[in-house]
Amino acid sequence: NGIIIFDNSFAKNIDDQQMLEQDLRYALKNDPQQIVLYFQPKVDPTNDKIIGAEALVRWHHPKKGVLSPAHFIELAESTGLILPLGEIVLRKSMEQVKRWEGTVFENLILAVNLSGRQFQDKNLEPLLRSLVDEYKIDPGKIELEITELTSMTMVHHTINVLHRIRSIGYKIAIDDFGTGYSSLAYLRDFPISTIKIDRSFIMNIEEEQKSITIVKLIIGMSRTLEFTVVAEGVETIRQKELLKSYGVDLIQGYFYNKPLPLKEFEEYVLKTN
Ligand code: C2E
Ligand code: CA
Ligand code: CA
Ligand code: CA
């Protein structure tokens, strides 16, 4: 009844978020070097060879140090900054693929995350087209990982955009597969090349029969439909061995390695392949 309790920590939190937003805006506009890609290997479990990597963004904040996406992706999405951030991530990824040309790394496939918000952007397809011309790379070396597929009303639009992106030559992966509601319709209607089984299923395959059944089913289905199937979040040798026995194509997770800065990633590839 008329009493307002001023919660200091809440106010401070808003301040923090606003400062972080300003800092991000500044970085994207004036100092894109603060945005750095880390690389997590994707490995063929039958021979332990690295066939590619997922690019995962980090923000080298001048005061706060290295920030993981949990600290700023939501903020970027709610403020629209995900568009310039996403473009920087794409450019850095292409630059990397370009630099790897003619080296021992040239066959690596680089996966890049795209947020749902980027998909709603009319400029995405033209951007992806012009980047191929600008960097003169084979778009087949880039795999775009897409997660939440926006709202149901967007499905038609998304399918059209995906077809056009696919026709440029990019590969397309469905990320966090199994957590959405119409996953099977995606498989039928979306021109995808790869399925990534969500970590929440992988986590439980050592003890839980339902997860085992689901994972086996996804792998079997992917093979029949001729998609590449990747297990994410693999942490133990037992998980790796199980997934290998089910016929998974690729494994990603702390069992092999965490996301690494470029130099460490390259050293790891040299040592491993
Ligand atoms: P994601 O696409 O599902 O990426 C996998 C996340 O799981 C990464 O976290 C990775 O470091 C972590 N991970 C990998 N292996 C393991 C494991 O064995 N165990 C566990 N517990 N975790 C593992 P990260 O790098 O913090 O990224 C979090 C999320 O942020 C990503 O989830 C992705 O949705 C988003 N993200 C990252 N980079 C980008 C980007 O460039 N653009 C956009 N739009 N989103 C990004
Ligand atoms: Ca991903
Ligand atoms: Ca995931
Ligand atoms: Ca994800």
Q: What does the DSSP 8-state code read for residue 178?
A: T
Give DSSP secondary structure letters for 112-152.
Answer: EEE-HHHHT-TTHHHHHHHHHHHHT--GGGEEEEE-----G
Residues recorded for the chain: 273
Q: Helical H runs in 68-123?
A: 73-79, 82-100, 116-119
| Alpha carbon of 196 to ligand 3 centroid (Å) | 8
- Evaluate if residue 172 carries a pLDDT over 70: yes
Top pLDDT among 186 and 182 is at 186
Distance CA 206, CA 10 (A): 41
Q: What ipTM is given for this predicted complex?
A: 0.97
Find tokens 């399925």 and name the residue: 195
Please tell me the chain's helix, strand, coil percentages from 3-state DSSP, rounded to the nearest 5.
Answer: 50, 20, 30
| Ligand 1 contact via 73 beta carbon (within 6 Å) | yes
CB of 175 within 6 A of ligand 1: the answer is yes
- 3-class DSSP state of 184: helix
CA distances from 211 to 33, 148, 200, 201, 203 (A): 41, 21, 9, 5, 9
pLDDT digits 0-9 by tens, 140-161: 999 999 986 655 667 788 889 9
Please tell me the residue having the least CA distance from ligand 1 atom 41.
57
1 alpha carbon – ligand 3 mean position (Å): 45
State whether the beta carbon of 146 lies less than 6 angstroms from ligand 1: no
Q: How confident is the model at residue 182 (pLDDT cuts 50, 70, 90)?
A: low
Ligand 1 site, residue 32, Cβ cutoff 6 A: no
Instruction: Please work out whether the CB of residue 68 comes within 6 Å of at least one atom of ligand 1.
Output: yes
Q: Do 272 and 50 form a contact (C-beta atoms < 8 A)?
A: yes
Q: Can you read off the two tokens belonging to residue 213? A: 């059944």
pLDDT tens profile 111-140? 999 998 898 899 999 999 999 999 999 999
